[in-house]
Amino acid sequence: MSELRKDPISGRWMITATRKEVDTPIGLITVRKEERERDCPFCEGRELETPPEAFALRKEGSKPDTPGWAVRVIPSKFGVVGLNEELERKGVGDFFFFDTINGYGVHEIVIESPLHITHISKLTLEQIEKVLRVYQVRLNELKKNSLLKYGLIFRNQGYGEEISMLHVHSQIIALPLIPKSIKEELSSAKNYYEEKERCIFCDIIKQELYSHERIVSAGDKFIVLAPFASRFPFETQIFPRKHECDFTNVPAEDLRELAEKLKSTIMKTVKLLKDPPLNFVLHTAPFMVPEAGFWLTIKQDYHWHIEILPHAMLARGFEWGGDFYINPPSPEAAAKFLRDVEGE
């Protein structure tokens, strides 16, 4: 299986394989490469070649693991975590100094189309809207497991067939801990709220709409902006205008505009940067397992959002070593370039 390990200095967690077959110099990558498509098991009609589905949006009356679905969620065959063990947190090493958690969690693949489409920008708005709806369904389901604290939804696009299936998909990893980057956002938002009794994200949105320099597009319900101190050239973020900490509370009628913003921003980025590898991540509130005095103001202080991170330049020593980013095109210029690209 796998093991979650905590770096004692930074507090950052990592997942490592403890299964012998993946414990090779390139580990999981080797396994995935063998799995990559010559024929694609994510296509409609090949349902029996994947693990049984956890959920699918499908035509009424159609049976699980048969054709007739629009979006299908399956456990990852090479899941980095699983639920087949009891959650066990312990110290290891001669002095039990190092913190570990066995690989407890859920790793799911969201297959975003029954058709063999290989780029998110080729999906219809209707289809992207369905995918967003499925994200809500899965997060709500995973929340019911009180041992899980966070569900991270992310997508790796364009990393090549060597490490990933080409058929459009995103992933959900739910863990018994909150990832460090989310923790940082949560504590920063909480501190700001304590001081000002306002949401830091709402204040950023207000500021950005006022100056307009870094706004890529502004709809009735969502805005897209290039963050003031972005890490990567042409990084963008999508925020709901209305304050809400939890993505699963977004009403169904708002998902169409979100799909539009997501699709047009990715299309513009892809066009401008000539199809760079990119990630997107959904940052939403943790599962809020009761923890004495901990989530008191989260409904007021946190604001869910999507981050789109193109990797047109590889991170180098300064970035990796310093967690400090050199980002030549200014976010203001990036926003202007993105505004000017003809989108669909």
Cα 44–chain centre separation: 24
Alpha-carbon gap, residue 254 to 113, rounded angstroms: 21
Q: How far is the CB of 305 from Zn ion (least distance, A)?
A: 6
Figure out which of the listed residues 4, 17, 28, 43 binds Zn ion, where binding follows CB under 5 A: 43
169 is a site residue for Zn ion (CB under 5 A): no
Binding mask 127-166 for Zn ion (x = CB under 5 A): ----------------------------------------
Q: How far is the CB of 61 from Zn ion (least distance, A)?
A: 24
Alpha-carbon gap, residue 291 to 289, rounded angstroms: 6
Alpha-carbon gap, residue 199 to 299, rounded angstroms: 10
Alpha-carbon gap, residue 207 to 141, rounded angstroms: 36
Window of 34-42, 79-87, 225-233, 255-263 that interacts with Zn ion by CB under 5 A: 34-42
In the bound state with Zn ion, the residue whose beta carbon lies nearer, of 6 and 303, is: 303
Q: How far is the CB of 160 from Zn ion (least distance, A)?
A: 16
Range 252-311, binding Zn ion (CB under 5 A): 283, 303
Residue 38: Cβ within 10 Å count: 4
In the bound state with Zn ion, the residue whose beta carbon lies nearer, of 133 and 241, is: 241
286, 186 contact by CB (below 8 A): yes
Within a 13 Å sphere around the CA of 228, how many CA atoms are in the beta-carbon half?
8
Alpha-carbon distance values, 65 to 57, 77, 132, 134 (Å):
11, 15, 21, 17
Q: How far is the CB of 273 from Zn ion (least distance, A)?
A: 21
- Cα torsion for 226, 230, 236, 242, to the nearest 10°? -70
Figure out which of the listed residues 6, 155, 167, 221 binds Zn ion, where binding follows CB under 5 A: 167
Q: How many residues touch Zn ion (CB under 5 A)?
A: 11
103, 3 contact by CB (below 8 A): yes
In the bound state with Zn ion, the residue whose beta carbon lies nearer, of 96 and 159, is: 159
Range 209-248, binding Zn ion (CB under 5 A): 243
Q: How far is the CB of 46 from Zn ion (least distance, A)?
A: 8
Q: How far is the CB of 317 from Zn ion (least distance, A)?
A: 25
- Specify the DSSP class assigned to residue 108: E
Figure out which of the listed residues 4, 22, 42, 306 binds Zn ion, where binding follows CB under 5 A: 42
Could you give the angle at which helices 200-211 and 180-196 cross, rounded to 10 degrees? 80
- Residues in touch with Zn ion (CB under 5 A): 40, 42-43, 116, 167, 199, 201-202, 243, 283, 303
